[in-house]
Amino acid sequence: MQLEFLGTGAGSPGKFRNVTSTALRLLDERNEVWLFDVGEGTQHQILRTTLKPRKITKIFITHLHGDHIFGLPGFLSSRSFQGGDEPLTIYGPKGIRDFVMTAMRVSGTRLSYPLRFEELSGDGVIFKDATFKVSCQHLEHRIEAFGYRVEEAAHPGELQADKLKALNIPSGPLYGQLKAGQTVTLPDGRTLNGQDFLGAPQAGRIVTILGDTRQTPNAVSLAQHADVLVHESTFGKDEGKLAHNYYHSTSTQAAQVAKKAGVHQLLLTHISARYTGKLSKELQKQAQQVFPNTKVVRDFDLIDVPIQK
């Protein structure tokens, strides 16, 4: 599991930061990539990575401001020309379907794959299968906005090979069957239940990705014990009033969310164009005074989300 940042700027594209888009790479887990927001030029950013558009199967939109959705029509169209025939589902606030379908209709665009929409009406679980669960909650912005929490299912416990060796059971295909929890019968007639040789299940990873928001309890709720929290940082610590008036957050407010929620790592994005070079590092230092494990991310940063041992 990895996070790849395709755009980390706020409002409009800049020389060093494109507008918002984040890819959650789940290639090892399910051979898929999920996008969170698709700002203008996202498909150009993808060309500078190893991401394949056909692997992108889900898109989660936090809110309908242009710097988070203007890249959608172009990306969806290009995916048809790049081998994309698998269905794609877009999750987002009411109005996302109308925006996309209007762009498709006016431009005469036909897609080579089924396009599905899940317009969000409230907080709760919006996707769940055997490997992942995604839930959303409202944030506080000038228009309806959501944050997303991605939870991986628990991993099976590790095979306790020492126990097997103590029973004089040689390694081989049998170990694979036992690791899968199966019951097997040995040539000497003994029966072994794989569950008896597995360690405790290992908790899956949690990634929380928030869109634009000012301080709200829902941000802390979404981020509870997350391995990684992706939080906007449009303003510096001394601009709290400005952040509140524009429904955004400061670097230290984001750090306070991370601290209250007990997350492992905080990644700051949605950086205003006035914070370039050393000034963006200042945002990082401000946040680190509250929550030390903080990083201001840049376009094309690739962050691993390891399983916590």
Residues annotated in the binding site, as ranges?
63, 65, 67-68, 141, 212, 270
Annotated binding site for Zn(2+): 63, 65, 67-68, 141, 212, 270
Work out the number of other CB atoms within 10 angstroms of the CB of residue 279: 12
Q: CA-CA distance, 72 to 277, in Å (whole number)? A: 29
- Alpha helical stretches, state H, the chain: 27-30, 42-46, 66-69, 72-81, 96-107, 161-166, 173-179, 217-223, 240-245, 251-261, 278-288
* Distances in whole angstroms, Cα of residue 147 to Cα of each of 134, 214, 295: 10, 12, 20
Buried b (16+ CB within 10 A) or exposed e, 100-139: beebbeeeeeeeebebeeeebeeeeebbeeeebbbbbbbb
List residues bridging with 285 in a β-sheet.
none
Torsion of CA 224, 248, 96, 13, to 10 degrees: -120
The residue count for the chain: 309
User: Encoding tokens for residue 43?
Assistant: 């498909």
What DSSP character marks residue 64? -
Catalytically annotated residues: 67
Tell me the C-alpha to C-alpha distance, in Å, between residue 121 and each of 38, 68, 136, 170, 293: 21, 19, 10, 56, 34
Question: Are the CB atoms for 288 and 255 separated by under 8 Å?
Answer: yes
